Structure 1
Amino acid sequence: MQTLRQGFEERNLAMVTEAEKLGQYWRNRLAAECPEHSVAVRESIILWLLGRDVERFDLLNPNELAIAKQAMEYRWKILTQRYLGVGRERAYRHLITRLGSLVTLRYKIQTWISLSRDRQRSVMDVLQEVLQELLQTDNYMQQQMAYIAEITEEARLKDTLLLATTEEYCLRPVRNQPLIAYRFVNYLRRSQRGGLTQVPSSDLVRLVSEEVLTDDNDNRVNLADNQAIAEYQEAQQLEEQQLLRQTVQQEFANYLQENLGSEAVEWLELYLQGKTQDEIAKKLNKPIKEVYRLREKISYHAVRVFALKDKPELVDNWLSISLQENNLGLTPNQWQQLYQKLTPKGQQILDLRKTGDSIEAIAEKLGIKPHQVMGEWTKVYLAAQAIRTQS
């Protein structure tokens, strides 16, 4: 009898589909991580993560299923980092800032603007036009919008899911470039007469001079002059760094306002102006000891919370310390030095993070709690920071 009961239980367990298992996993996870959202909102998010064709999960082999799970983790990370619980306008700015930080795309747009008849438009203006055309003409995005409309009737959640979907789709790698870069080329082909790639069929093709005017119309750039091109690209990189710096500064100020209050924001503004702690104490009318304590608290939040948990991608792009692209900003010798300093568990977590695994996925693989993985990853991050500072 006991054997028969076990057989029925195993058969019932086997009848549970992969989609149902994944749905229950995300249901438990969202209940723990997003208790402030209603059950209806969480269920809509789960349907968005799984996608319309849930039967495909039963047809995947173990490796393909693992990749599908990683894809859902990636979408969830995008959703929570920049869009979920954020106002519509601010969320849209997050999308534009994220896509605008792509170096390849910015160079393509900047080159087109410099060679086009309308040099007054900014990169962000053109990027918004590309996104608008993407939403109106791309079949995949049209299908996604229809699916989002099916799974929720809440307007704010629709916008949130659409923005997250757009970022994930635009960042998909195609021949080592983000997909949005190719959509920009399509935009040029369909843009109005006079665009870089669209030549009027009824007119003669005009030769382009080797020299083009820059935005100030005074300094000419010779397209055959490698030094001039290098200087131009360096100037654009500096401009991009400045944009990222301003974005990080504003996001961190918003974070401090929400978590530590306006006094911390005032300290940050004064600190960025180059004020000493004594000068800041006078401005805030606070004893110097309180100001030093405030500085330590802000420093803790800056590194251990904002840079590691709240806005890691934004900070990594600004400082060029991305793990996947920049090896945490370390040279090969410094990377070896870091690796030797770590415990075996720290080395294992570093390797898994390097391959793109999330904190939750690593915790599941190692059989430990996510907060334990986060604690070890914090040690790795701080060790890398110490090595960079020493150099």
Structure 2
Amino acid sequence: MLTASQHEAIRQSEEATFQLVFDELRHSTSASEQNCQDVATRLSAEVARTCTQSERIRSSGKLEAWATELARHRLKQCLDYYQLGSLRGRVELHGTLSAIVYRYISPSHTQSSYQARVLLIEDFLQTFYAEALNALRREAELSATYSPKTLLEVSEYMSFTERYGKRRISLPRGRSQQLIILRAQTFSKQQPPETSIDMDRAAEGTMSDSDTHRDDASVGQVREQIVSQEPDPGADLLRQTVIRELIAYLDEQEQSLCADYFVLRLQDLPTHEIETILSITPRQRDYLQQRFRYHLTRFALSHHWELVHEWLEVDLDRNLGLTPSQWEELHEKMSSEQVELLTLKCQKLPDSEISRRLGCTPSQLKKRWFKLLKYVWELRNQP
């Protein structure tokens, strides 16, 4: 039971956190004042509930400090998703939750392909997103038909969903577990054996998407790696870095539509859904895809070639991913100038020094290295 002084402290802290969140939302977003006020009210009420329910916070004697810290954490989450936007925010949330439940959702042992697991995770998360929305409606005392509409409301929902999934649920013998893991374990146990077979067949169908066949070797390998969701923490961190850098590169090139297309492809949506979301015709989508492939190639083989090659484990320390026979073939077909360029690159010399030794400008060096890397990728991916 709360004492009268604790009730008063919580009330005052809720007012203070509301003002903190409201002021920051007004400063950091373009949402309307009413929209900011509504979201700030819900976030501050959530903080107050947490403080009320936590015996550790109530007995700490530092209720106001706890409330401020919790409010800042929720505010940062919400603004992070707001800055990402609805499409990229969805990818970030989906990736975060997928990484948590990956090991807890598995198909039948007879059909344990990676693609089958990914499709099961997709199925599970769609259900979990609906559960999180219902939880937000219930806890924030919203109507049963409430659905986030503005970017700020969508950001609030995504940040709430992340926190909801990570809530610790008490278990017997003093143990606890994250809510989303408990849901994933239950979901996995409920899957009938034939489900995994259907998933594998569906996966085979998705791989025959017509535009995938037209990708060249380098673009195909980059895209295949980007859309994978292997659970290795180190590999996932590098993958997320590549995704962020590619989106930033597309934005720098003023290719925001390509960035949106890339985000939708990350979700493995069929082409007709992508066309609907982007409000483009099939012909426009085909042109957009070609433009994206062009920029992806430039990104992978020129602007961020070291990052991409390290991520794909085909960097210079690994002979650019070539087999011994391919490495020998490469040296046989390279000109003396290309051999010297590759040698200097393998020595990890800065481009300024390599340009000086080869007697070329930085721009010329970049073009020569791009041409060489492109040939290496074709050689590495040939049948």
**TM-score class normalised by the smaller sequence:** 0.3 to 0.5
TM-score, with normalisation over the residues of structure 1?
A: 0.46
Does 1 or 2 have the higher relative contact order (CA < 8 Å, sep 6+)? 2
TM-score, with normalisation over the residues of structure 2?
A: 0.47
